[in-house]
Structure 1
Amino acid sequence: MKTATILVIDDSATIRKLVDSHLSEEGYHVELAPTAELGIELAQELLPDLILLDHQLPGTTGLEVCQQIIAIEKCSNIPFVVSSTLRKQAYAEYLQIPNVIDSLHKPFQPDLLKMTVANALETASMIIQSQSSGAAVPEVINETEKAAISGDLTCFGLREIVDFLNNGQQEGMLEVESARYRTMFFLSQGRIQCVVSPSGDQSLVEQRLPEALKDLSPLLKFTMSTGFSAQMDGLVELLDRKMLDPRLLRSLLRHQAAVLTRHCFRSELQSFSFVAGQPVPKLFRRSPLETSLVSLLVEGALSAPGSELDDPEAMGWTRQGLRGQNLDRTGLAARHVQLTSQLDGPPQSARQLAERMQLPTEEVIRVLDGFAMADWVKTEPLVEQKTALVLEYDPGGSSLFRKYLAEDSNPWSGKVVRDEFGLKLLMKRTKPDVLVLSIPDDAPLAVPSNILADMETLGVNARVGVILSANHPAVDQESAPGVEAVIRRPYSQRDIDIAMEKLAGVSIPEAQVVNA
């Protein structure tokens, strides 16, 4: 790879030191000339890619030096950037010289210096040729291809656009734009290959770098660009020579993609465009991510500051449709894939899910945050779960209760048994909120004494309902103390609903009281 050579002709030691320091950091080869005579000599010797020329030189002017240099045949195409404290007044003198393509007003900031030099190197040959021939100078360099599809993001979400393109196996560049930033997703074979943002905030990515990657933070100025530059070619060359650890670089690129993707989902996006066939930049072809949107969103959530996360205690998480995705190809960690299997059924809090998965609660909160951005999960109000144990001798009644307790639409869970021994075993294992007991026709209308004794021994303080035949007399607190709900045979699912609501403490309109 050829390194661009910059010749600085300036009598100020301060300016020479500043330019040398900052341009060398950018990978340029810098040569310094404190006098016009040495500058003209070095120009012939080095044939630099660009000359940064001071307008006010001892005994002469930058204009005279420029004219002398370009009069030399082999130096006739060298581009110049003129620097001066006189601003427009000085630059006006160079308007008729095609080799002078830009000006740099003193005093200047290092960032402006770098930007001016980079732009001059990229556009110099085209501008010199255009001005020498009198042709019009193009407004845009490397004008982008026409977008295959484009639109605003007020009707569609970014997730929908990415899914649409990946499901269609589209290859190209998806560009999304907010008020301040542009972010590009390069897609191929239904996967995200890289994410870059030339105008993005580098510090956003840098601040969230894990400790193992902090030494690579200077590379972000290159990896966040679209990748078509001499500096990026240098990184590729380092990879080819095995002077840069490809595993660490891949981790850096993945972290960058995760942070930028999350930032897009948290920003107010304005528009999108997709350029089909736009190739993945060379560096990312050497180290493609081959990942999914949800994987990047989860990784972005794992590195996000705690202030961005929210876990409402009164809300639970439940699964949404995953649109037929193959979870094995998402790029998610195995434990995070397993978490999705715990999200079927009624909503669960992050703490409950963490206990079931034996994972840190904070990790589960972060993963769920990423899932929510991908529309994989949603939050719903938590319903307090209650436990019921049912003693029912009748097979038909047992079947109805099992069906009721298995439904996700009610707050009940529990077991149905057909003998008192089984009931006692279950009371040992759990402390039920409710007991529903079947009373035989020939038994007295009361909670059996042995069951009462077991409840006292085991510390069970449950509300009690009973199942009676149609022949049993009416029930009241005097005839059946402690009984709070009665179900008469034959009964239906609706009868169970009303009785269980009553046992849960829900007020029941008198017209709905079950055959009491």
Structure 2
Amino acid sequence: MTTGPIVLVIDDSRTIRQLLEIVLGQTGYQVQVVETGQEGIDRARAIQPRLILLDHVLPDMGSLDVCLALAQDQKTASLPLVIMTAKGNDVRASFANHPQVVDFLPKPFTPPDVVNMVKSVLQRMSSSRASSPLLAQKASAAPREELFSLEQKNRAAQACFQLLRDRLVLIPKFMKDYRDEPAAPFFAKRILVPEVLDALLATFLPLYRDIIVPDTTPGPNTVGALLEGQTGAMPLRKLVDCICGLGRSGELTLRSGARTTTCFVRKGEIVVVTHDQPEEYVRGYHNEMARVDDATWSKAAAEQRRSGKPAFVTLVEAKQLDGKLLPDLVYRQGQAALAAALAAAPGRFAWRERPSLPTWVEAVGRALHLDQSELERLRDLDDWTQVEGQVTSVDQVYHRAEDFAERVGHFTFTDAERLVLARIDGRAAVKEIGERSGVPTLEVFHILFRLSQVGLIVLDPPGGSVADRPVMILDPDVEGVMKPLAKQLRDRVRPVSLLAVAPDRDVLQSIINERPGLVLLNAASIDAAAVARGVRLNLMISNIPMAAILEQADPEQERLLREAGFDAVLAKPMHVRDIEHLLESGQR
């Protein structure tokens, strides 16, 4: 499979960026997205995309300014642009003197609008290029086609990282049991446990299936689908957030293995989630099902398999179930179904917009939150090693996350969770929380693990708040980097110290010991990618912002460093604004 053309999206709307990533990514394009005009100019110079989708209104500059900057640079002067605008034909005259602008995409647009526009523009550009002998010569010298595309390789790497992360962080614990035996099988048995292997196989199978036999089968319920594809292309939660961010009504269908889950969305809010396995759906409700006759049950089960309509709804319509129970039944089972879908192996999805939802959905549907589904999934997690990897000591202190107030309403807590949460104040240690709440210490560990995983609470680093933690740096340039940066940090409203580390030190262990607020590593002085991977695999320090320093800009090296886990890659000379932005991101 060949690597698709690169399309650069410049738009300040997070929803638009995510939507275009999904739509164009599923169509075979490599999609890169940025938020501001200046970022777009810099990225275009670095990657030379085949096409740029440019929003007309940006926060830092106008689209005309972006076009002018691109036209004045020899590297980007010939790159075609499509202007995305809600002003219709009113803006066309403004771009009359900009031959780079080859078309306009009216907002709001649908996924097919985008795909057709990009395909049409690239076909026109290819026809123009074919007449150029120089371009034809370059095309004939193209590299040999590879088995997997870059996008597929990236997806596989991300899947491996996510699936193995929780086991790899336990290696120090496994070391305590290690004796005189071959290391490879010892660690393999503990890391490659059956559930991890199942998930890995489920992730990689679609990649090989696409090569052996191209997947031409339609996705689940894809008749009239605006958007469909593989759920492994991005985290499922991000996909669901993106679709809900459209603010429209419709059905999101998720297929994993033998199960098809349907999420009914009303104006961007999930209100009902069901699936096509009615026997599992009603399991545990023996009292409610006691008076249902076999014939009515068979009809209700068949309808749920066919359309996803919950069997409970059909039974109420047949007057064999108390209608007062229905909203709570559908809500509880919906949360459980959503949690199971988020935890399932990668599969396929389809999104269809609907002007109106089924009557029964409007009657019983109420808001279902992804946050609550994730919390319920974690309640079912019976893996003490994961809990122990996060909550490591009775002396740890947690505080409430910055967005706690706006998100706490998304959750329904157990009594024990409420007792623990009420005592998290940034001062009480784990041991004290257990004593004051009356909740057993072991259960406190589990609750803190769950609340931290859903982002409601944050572990305080030892020795002060994140804002007070030093900046750790490894760079040999004392005069050009170290001294100016130290002065910049001292002169801040809230001063921060600079902590230098030598390349002959164990840098990863230094990060673990110091818990800095920001890490800056010169990529020429150390294997920076290996350090970044080590940080991201350690739950205790995985959220520390990291930036790699390059002696000069190198797009390919920047890509590799970002894939390794760096939040940013800074080329010398570094700008004060870049450091401030990274410090602020670590304090959020």
User: Which has the larger strand fraction?
Assistant: 1
TM-score bracket, shorter-length normalisation: 0.3 to 0.5
Please, what TM-score do these two structures have when normalized by structure 2? Answer: 0.33
User: Which has the larger helix fraction?
Assistant: 2
Structure whose alpha-carbon radius of gyration is higher: 1
